[in-house]
Structure 1
């Protein structure tokens, strides 16, 4: 259900983005996430209500997520594009940070909260969609979308809002108009752009590369560790409160680790950063597995303090390598390799390979370190 909802949202995202604008695709997706949050939180405790909420969440995510990188790429100055795109991943880290600390606070008061222990966690999912909706009212649409829809005066006014140098504004406006005029000769509709993704050999190659990169992001093991971190820590620690605190601290450090992407992506380069990152991830993953599974248990079933410290250190070190590399750089790389005329469609299709791969892995992959 979630996979089909995401796929449907992905294909509609480009249609909505091209017809109504990038920011309205994000706005519609955020509204759907808010609706799904109310359904999941307040419907009677039956599986149908939960599935409906998850389906709407997936659809909203499919609408919203692909439009974000396209919006950033079309509105950010070229020299700052990589840095600004890294903040896209930073927002994921901030969301995890908030979720972990809320979960920790609820776990400390579980008996007093009763069923609101999980309802608070579920309901507060509306926090960031509300911020997105509020912020989008103050954001201009991208100049490129205005030109694509022959609204040249609005495109120029938007450039005046987001750029300082009037000479550069005139040049950028001319460049956008020339690019759009050329692209319309090749692709004059959203469906023709989708067709180009598979009929043009060069574009098809980039689609396959970007899809592989986004699936590879999930195969690094980051989502498995995020999903099963509590189970992993239970093999080392006996206190649930202590485990939730470690998860909350991990969410805090993830923000700091992601901030490294704001300067490393341009200084080191996309490809070297990805190669360094995957090497570090492999070392951390194998080391953590060895520490947890090959060390003896104490009488109460936990591990010694030194094993606990080593496990936490390796998990945090994993995040240190992942966040600026395969966390942030994959988004930047994906949004940069496609030409503007097919970017909305290509980014929508390839980035959602992350969500589909994540769902499939969670369904069929047994949790790590359990045996």
Structure 2
């Protein structure tokens, strides 16, 4: 197996770890033994708080492990992320096992510790992957990895659902086994990481040229290693005096403030789509459409399977049509779907008074939710994680991705904490809230999100430089709207900082 394949498999499996956790809590939240062990009624807001605290852990973990990734290397940081995830998972598993007092404290601790690890994975994997990906396939590589995120989501929910059906909602192993099965991900990844190359870009930036050359030789072979190393050294020399701190990134006058705000708003807008809540509270949403509990669980599994299949379109399209079109198309479809869900949810809620057959509104509701989920996966899931890896220079890329994860964690903390409360108070009107929040996300994207696909890292920096000169962040007003679309074709002889490190040996094959 070549290094290209090894890196893709590793990165995809690491992202699947994050997806597994999202799907894992969906049915645990409704398990009677779990609620009893934690000492909580199902309607308690503490149920949502336990889920949401995980996202606070991811925010802190992103900062910690992005720092470690810059200080000690991408690989050691990733190993630490995985070890932390494994530890948090074990703590969750033993919560309330043979003891009852303090079970909820142990569970919360486990959620936070696992969040630290998964936040690190979310921060470091996209950086590691982008630094080892072909320029013309950056989007495809990350979208494929995030398709595995949905595989993890499906795996967790399927295991949960199967054990719930087999053992019942009052059996403790129906919620403990899905937790401990997650160990397969960090354990396998930690055993696999040793054979992967360290990022040669990181090695060069830390003046470890011999190690960088050895890593390049593993990727390219000895013949191409020296030439690629020379390009990386030249690029690093151009950036060596441009060290960037978090304070710089949050300072309005600094060159990296604008890309940082694009990153921040991208993650806020992704949270506003509402699909963090849909992933965790899928069965409850189908119950709002009028389905019984077990049927809602089956329909949720079907939605996740559809989600996984439709994600194929994400990696087929993202490097063909560009990031902006994917995001805008996703927002339009999501807005329409949530408006329809408001209508169908209202009709289902009042079906007896209106004399409408249940299935007459429930089936269109299923279609709307399935389509909306697919639109999120194709348009928003991977795209918003990709952009930070394309708009920051090497000296700020890890920090930029960490900022992305921090905002993602805080935004999803708020959404997942508020969702069960809104369920209990707004019922189907919750869909209307998400319709308007998706509309806002689309409008912001249209005006302020530059197209970053098909360009080198340096070329994307040009947009922010010109925006500063023009005194506006509006994409259409910078360089006559040049960054509203993706350029075609990409230059084959570009020797800038984006020169691929994992270019497939197609030149050798054609020769």
Aligned 1:291-330 pairs, distance under 5 A = 291-295=344-348, 296-298=350-352, 304-330=358-384
- 1:136 matched to 2:182: no
Which structure has more helix as a fraction of its residues?
Answer: 1
Question: Which of 227, 230, 240 is 2:280 aligned to?
Answer: 227
d(CA) in 2 for partners of 1:340, 1:233:
44
- Of 179, 185, 188, which aligns to 2:241? 185
Matched, 1:266 2:323: no
Q: CA RMSD in A?
A: 2.4
The farther-off stretch of 265-274 and 8-17 is 8-17
Residue segments in structure 1 that go unaligned for 5+ positions in a row: none
Distance 1:269 1:4 in 2: 31
Deviation at 1:2, TM superposition (A): 4.2
Contact 2:147/2:312 (CA < 8 Å) preserved in 1? yes
Q: Which position in structure 2 is the counterpart of 1:252?
A: 305
Shift, 1:3, TM fit: 5.3
Where does residue 10 of structure 1 map in the other structure?
62
How far did 1:30 drift? Answer: 1.3
1:27 aligns to 2:79 (yes or no): yes
Which of 216, 233, 246 is 1:194 aligned to?
A: 246
Q: Aligned partners of 2:321 and 2:198: how far apart in 1?
A: 32
Contact map agreement 1:230 1:243 (CA 8 A) in 2: yes
The 1-side partners of 2:219 and 2:177 are apart by: 38
Q: Give 1:196 shift.
A: 3.1
| 1:54-108 residue CA offsets vs partner (Å, 9 max, x unmatched) | 1211211232210011000111122222211112321211111101211210121
* 8 A Cα contact 2:388 2:397, kept in partner: no
Contact 1:106 1:113 in 2 (8 A): no
Asked if residue 282 in structure 1 is aligned to residue 339 in structure 2, the reply is no
Residue of structure 2 equivalent to 1:80: 137
Q: Cα offset for 1:5?
A: 3.1
| 1:64 aligned residue | 121
* In structure 1, C-alpha distance between the alignment counterparts of 2:169 and 2:413, rounded to whole Å: 33
Residues 82-91 or 204-213, more deviating? 82-91
- What is the TM-score with the length of structure 2 in the denominator? 0.67
Does the aligned pair in 2 maintain the 1:100–1:244 contact within 8 Å? no
Deviations 1:211-236 (A, max 9, x none): 10011101011122223321121234
Work out the CA distance in 1 between the residues paired with 2:288 and 2:380. Answer: 27
SS in 2 for 1:291: helix
Of 409, 419, 430, the residue aligned with 1:355 is 409
- Deviations, residues 281-313 of structure 1 (Å, cap 9, x unaligned): 1001111121111244359x9962232221111
Q: 1:114 to 1:335 in 2, by over 3 A?
A: same
Which residue does 2:207 correspond to in 1? 150
CA contact (8 A) 2:137 2:319 kept: no
Q: Which residue of 1 aligns with 2:258?
A: 205
Helix, strand or coil for the counterpart of 1:260? helix
- Structure 2 counterpart of 1:106: 163
Higher relative contact order (CA 8 A, sep 6+): 1
Runs of at least 5 residues in structure 2 that lack an aligned partner in the other structure = 1-52, 430-511
Report deviation, 1:357.
0.4
Give me the TM-score of the superposition, normalised by structure 1. 0.91
- Alpha carbons of structure 1 residues 148 and 116: separation in structure 2 relative to 1, 3 Å: same
